[in-house]
Amino acid sequence: MSKLSNKKILLTTGPTREPIDPVRFISNYSSGKMGFALAEEAVQRGAEVLMVKGPTYAPFKDATVKVIEIQTAAEMYDAVNANMEGYDIIIYAAAVADYTPKHIAENKIKKNDNEFSLELVKTKDIAYEMGKKKSATQFSVGFALETDNEEAHALSKLNKKNLDMIVLNSLRDVGAGFQVDTNKITILDKKGNVVKFDMKSKAETAKDILDYVEQMLN
């Protein structure tokens, strides 16, 4: 029997959209595919899954997973904060915006000037804030998508956010990252281990990640 059987998993996935005006927003290329694969694999292992999902273009179709749909980073923060306490494992797979417009225009911004400046403010770092209130029995998994000094940046996030393990992607690896069906990961954990995996489908990568979670739950 899987060690995830009857465990409650809270999972974030997809992008966030930070509105500029009624018709425009700031976002990123996240498709939510890695989060979808993790949710499906967790259900196969007998876990109860709550997905907090940003606005993906493809819907998530597994009816056994409870889904909270959000748009903005603030909405994702609120959803995770409101539900985190009742969950054994939290997986932060979403690509959350780091910044959001300070002011949202009430009407569509017209193209008048040659230059246009947009003032941005930091969003709350969900994994960092939840890491401060995580209980001793909760297990948390972060994700880091990096373009340089990958392992150093991932390790910094692991420690800063009080994570138990972090899944690192490098955009320098062709076939890894956003909007593809494959992934190539490195896992770093709080015990100091660094484990590299080959390029695989996201479904197979989800198995590797959850195998690692089960191993650490020992």
83 is catalytic: no
* Predicted confidence (pLDDT) at residue 80 exceeds the cutoff of 70: yes
**Per-residue confidence band for 174, with pLDDT thresholds at 50, 70 and 90:** low
**Per-residue confidence band for 175, with pLDDT thresholds at 50, 70 and 90:** low
Q: Which of 169, 137, 130, 133 is nearest to 153 (CA)?
A: 169
Q: Mean pLDDT over residues 93-119, rounded?
A: 94
Catalytic residue among 28, 81, 83, 162: 28
Q: Counting Cβ atoms within 10 Å, is residue 86 exposed (0-12), middle (13-18) or buried (19+)?
A: exposed
Average pLDDT, whole number, for the chain? 94
Distance (Å, rounded) from C-alpha 127 to C-alpha 150?
A: 18
Give the per-residue pLDDT at 40: 97
* 143 token code pair: 């994700």
Give the per-residue pLDDT at 177: 60
Print the SS3 string covering 80-149: HHHHHHHCCEEEECCECCCEEECCCCCCCCCCCCCCCCCCEEECCCHHHHHHHHCCCCCEEEEEEEECCC
pLDDT in tens, 4-34: 999 999 999 999 999 999 999 999 999 999 9
* Predicted confidence (pLDDT) at residue 200 exceeds the cutoff of 80: yes
Q: Which of 31-45, 166-180, 191-205 has the lowest mean pLDDT?
A: 166-180
